[in-house]
């Protein structure tokens, strides 16, 4: 992985490719390159490092042409070097391709191809695909005595892809067919943009915004052949298909920075609006409940559900933990939260009445997609909570709920987390009213949820206080994050944000678990961040705070406004609005996001594109 772009039409392909690669930078990468038909040959330009390094290379050694492909690489096999960067060349230059995914059987294929005389110039798994396609093309031409044709190119890509074990999204150029791009996917997303006299290819819709309003999302094992005037789609097993054209519902302004210095800060400040969008049109006032249009399960089916499994990765998994508390408290449904990377390989005893929700921002997370498919294969109602319309998980789930949070560009998720928590709260209300939750309780929840956008705007006023705390503690290299009940997942999420963008070791724990091991870490240079708003077990968490103070550990508290008791005990305190316990994650997460952001800035880290991370993890 990480990002693919492609163009065929009448424009200078390099301009679109470079623009697209810049738009894909948020996904995380370590090198970039393009290949363009230029003066009768496929010219490849690539560099390790940022896309700006590629920009400079092309300024001095440019390529012009109307057909090309590009790639940002996040290394899985082989070091980060110029030669390992994509695009890769197959055979004697007759094939050039870019690839997202992992070729699990690359070692055996490499050995076979080397025996046939193919010379490998890189240590990547991708070069195997390039040589494999070139090999089948050579065999096809030798057997049929034909020159390279469009039909032959599509067939050799299909033949080669059948031999690949693992995941792939590929875009391929053929030296002897300069008016053709062939693209294929299995487990790694690709979208085709449709223009007039031009077509586009990308890993997600971002690079297509402003160029086209019509797209085709490729499904697994689909192959598309593009010329400047045509699109031909076929499925590996089902043959030719008619493309399903959809309207791209994203506008260019969605991905602009506006007045913000970084996408992460912009997205933190978008949270009042994003949770409002998550709630819009989803309240049924007369029935004191929530309503969803896409669950695709009738009330009778939902009432038969006796267990819920939430599966996710990373930040979405933390949102799922909040969802577990919500669904058990308000819907009285036993709920489990599973790491998707574990669930896909386990065989848990799920009953016929178990409902599975896959939680994901991108809708392309490989482990979450695989876990969802496994549960679906076994006949369980499998739904999605997802942000990206047209994503693989959104399309393959039996039904689901969109977040409507808008594009999230920063690698460290912020507004997706609070939107997921908001949707899970609505889901708890909806299922609760089907079971045990009273009408007055449902009305109270609706009223309290309606207040939350303003509560988040008020929570954001802590920004200056957070900045001061960051300035005081940014030189420390270990942090403990502590919370209980609804704020335990917030502690985990706060620690993850600190790790992701500031490269500081941080761990989240239930505050009461301190005495069972982590308290051994407490000392003067290990700050403890207590998420301690008012609530039923406030006195218990206060006791844990005192235990840390007794051992000379610095204490930073996230507390309800006006809480003088905490202010007297903590070394530093950041205040948030006082809300109901089940809604506290929405406000307490904001200062932790801001703290990670400012600590990262002070440590001179790239907050939007942290090292080694990808926005959408599309490989295992």
Mean pLDDT within 335-360: 89
> 385: which DSSP letter?
E
| CATH hierarchy code of domain 2-254 | 3.60.20.10
- Confidence bin at 362 (pLDDT 50/70/90): confident
CATH T-level assignment (fold) for domain 263-602 = Rossmann fold (3.40.50)
Residue with token string 């030296």: 175
Cβ atoms of residues 288 and 299 within 8 Å = no
Residue range 455-511, pLDDT digits in tens: 999 999 999 999 999 999 999 999 999 999 999 999 999 999 999 999 999 999 888
> 484: which DSSP letter?
-
Cβ atoms of residues 36 and 223 within 8 Å = no
Which is the catalytic residue, given 46, 266, 499, 615?
Answer: 615
Q: Rounded to an integer, what distance in angstroms lies between the CA atom of residue 116 and that of residue 136?
A: 12
> 344: which DSSP letter?
T
With 0-12 CB in 10 A as exposed, 13-18 as middle and 19+ as buried, what is 377? exposed
Active site residue 2: yes
Q: Rounded to an integer, what distance in angstroms lies between the CA atom of residue 178 and that of residue 147?
A: 13
Q: Rounded to an integer, what distance in angstroms lies between the CA atom of residue 620 and that of residue 475?
A: 34
Give 43's strand partners: 36
- Confidence bin at 537 (pLDDT 50/70/90): confident
- Confidence bin at 426 (pLDDT 50/70/90): very high
Q: Does 458 or 73 have the greater pLDDT score?
A: 458
Angle between helices 439-459 and 584-602 (to 10 degrees): 20
Cβ atoms of residues 360 and 335 within 8 Å = no
Active site residue 605: no
Mean pLDDT within 114-135: 92
Please give the pLDDT value at position 1.
Answer: 57
**pLDDT of 165 higher than 70:** yes
Q: Rounded to an integer, what distance in angstroms lies between the CA atom of residue 163 and that of residue 146?
A: 24
Residue range 392-422, pLDDT digits in tens: 888 888 899 999 998 888 888 999 999 999 9
Q: Does 275 or 620 have the greater pLDDT score?
A: 275
Pairing of strands 505-510, 478-483: parallel
Provide the 3-class DSSP secondary structure of residue 455: helix
Residue-by-residue DSSP string for 554-581: -EEEEEETT-HHHHHHSSEEEEE----G
What is the pTM for the complete model shown?
A: 0.82
Which is the catalytic residue, given 2, 153, 177, 462?
Answer: 2
**pLDDT of 179 higher than 70:** yes
User: Which two tokens mark 472?
Assistant: 């005081």
**pLDDT of 431 higher than 90:** yes
Cβ atoms of residues 98 and 111 within 8 Å = no
**pLDDT of 318 higher than 60:** yes
- Confidence bin at 615 (pLDDT 50/70/90): low
- Number of neighbours of residue 229 by Cβ within 10 angstroms: 12
With 0-12 CB in 10 A as exposed, 13-18 as middle and 19+ as buried, what is 221? middle
Cβ atoms of residues 314 and 417 within 8 Å = no
CA-based nearest residue to 156, from 87, 204, 97, 209: 97
**pLDDT of 277 higher than 70:** yes
**pLDDT of 142 higher than 70:** yes
How is the chain split into domains, by residue range?
2-254, 263-602
Q: Mean pLDDT across the chain, nearest whole number?
A: 89
User: Which two tokens mark 291?
Assistant: 């309503």
């Amino acid at each position: 992985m990480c990002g693919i772009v492609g163009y065929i039409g009448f424009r200078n392909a390099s301009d679109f490719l470079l623009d697209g690669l810049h738009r894909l930078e948020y996904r995380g990468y370590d090198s970039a390159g393009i290949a363009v038909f230029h003066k009768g040959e496929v010219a490849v330009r690539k560099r390790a490092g940022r896309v700006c390094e590629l920009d400079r290379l092309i300024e001095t050694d440019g390529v012009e042409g109307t057909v090309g492909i590009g790639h940002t690489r996040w290394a899985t096999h082989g070091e980060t070097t110029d030669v390992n960067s994509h695009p890769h060349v197959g055979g004697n230059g007759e094939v050039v391709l870019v690839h997202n995914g992992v070729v699990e059987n690359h070692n055996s294929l490499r050995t076979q191809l080397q025996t046939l005389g193919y010379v490998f110039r890189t240590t990547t798994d991708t070069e195997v695909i390039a040589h494999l396609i070139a090999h089948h093309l050579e065999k096809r031409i030798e057997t049929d005595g034909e020159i390279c044709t469009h039909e032959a190119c599509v067939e050799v890509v299909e033949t080669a892809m059948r031999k690949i074990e693992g995941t792939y999204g590929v875009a391929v150029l053929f030296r002897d067919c300069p008016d053709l791009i062939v693209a294929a996917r299995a487990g790694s997303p690709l979208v085709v943009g449709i223009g007039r006299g031009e077509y586009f290819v990308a890993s997600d819709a971002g690079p297509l915004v402003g160029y086209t309003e019509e797209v085709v999302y490729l499904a697994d094992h689909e192959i598309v052949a593009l010329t400047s005037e045509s699109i031909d789609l076929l499925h590996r097993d089902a043959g030719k298909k008619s493309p399903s054209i959809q309207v791209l519902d994203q506008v260019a302004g969605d991905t602009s920075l506006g007045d913000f210095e970084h996408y992460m800060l912009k997205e933190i400040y978008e949270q009042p609006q994003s949770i409002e969008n998550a709630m819009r049109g989803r309240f049924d006032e007369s029935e004191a409940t929530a309503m969803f249009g896409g669950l695709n399960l009738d009330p009778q089916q939902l009432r038969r559900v006796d267990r819920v499994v939430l599966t996710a990765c990373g930040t979405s998994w933390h949102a799922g933990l909040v969802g577990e508390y919500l669904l058990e408290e308000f819907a009285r449904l036993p709920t489990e939260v599973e790491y998707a990377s574990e669930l896909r390989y386990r065989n848990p005893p799920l009953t016929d009445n178990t409902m599975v929700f896959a939680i994901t921002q991108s809708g392309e997370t490989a482990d979450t997609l695989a876990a969802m498919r496994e549960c679906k294969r076994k006949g369980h109602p499998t739904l999605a909570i997802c942000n990206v319309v047209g994503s693989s998980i959104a399309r393959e789930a039996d039904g689901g709920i969109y977040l409507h949070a808008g594009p999230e560009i920063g690698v460290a998720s912020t507004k997706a987390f609070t939107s997921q928590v908001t949707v899970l709260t609505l889901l708890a209300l909806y299922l609760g009213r089907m079971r045990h939750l009273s009408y007055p309780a449902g009305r109270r929840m609706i009223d309290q949820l309606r207040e939350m956008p303003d509560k988040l705007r008020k929570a954001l006023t802590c920004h200056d206080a957070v900045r001061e705390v960051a300035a005081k503690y940014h030189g420390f290299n270990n942090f403990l994050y502590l919370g209980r009940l609804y704020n335990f997942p917030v502690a985990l999420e706060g620690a993850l944000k600190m790790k992701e963008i500031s490269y500081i070791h941080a761990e989240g724990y239930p505050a009461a678990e301190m005495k069972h091991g982590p308290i051994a870490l407490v000392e003067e240079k290990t700050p403890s961040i207590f998420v301690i708003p008012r609530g039923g077990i406030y006195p218990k968490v206060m006791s844990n705070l005192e235990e840390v103070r007794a051992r000379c550990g610095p204490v930073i508290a996230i507390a309800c406004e006006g809480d003088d008791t905490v202010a007297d005990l903590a070394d530093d305190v950041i205040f948030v609005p006082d809300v109901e316990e089940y809604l506290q994650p929405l406000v307490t997460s904001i200062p932790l996001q801001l703290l990670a952001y400012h600590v990262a800035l002070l440590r001179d880290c790239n907050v939007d594109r942290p090292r080694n991370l990808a926005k959408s993890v599309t490989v295992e």
